[in-house]
Amino acid sequence: MNCQKYSELESEVRSTLQKLKELTESQLAAFRACDQPEFIRLDKELEQTMGAKERVIGAFRQHAEEHNCQARSEGKPQTPSPLKNQERASTG
- List residues binding Zn ion (CB under 5 A): 3, 5-6, 67, 69
For Zn ion, give the closer residue by CB, 8 or 25: 8
What span, in angstroms and rounded, lies between the C-alpha atoms of 53 and 33?
Answer: 27
How many residues in the chain? 92
For Zn ion, give the closer residue by CB, 36 or 62: 62
Residue 84, burial from CB neighbour count under 10 angstroms (0-12, 13-18, 19+):
exposed
For Zn ion, give the closer residue by CB, 7 or 36: 7
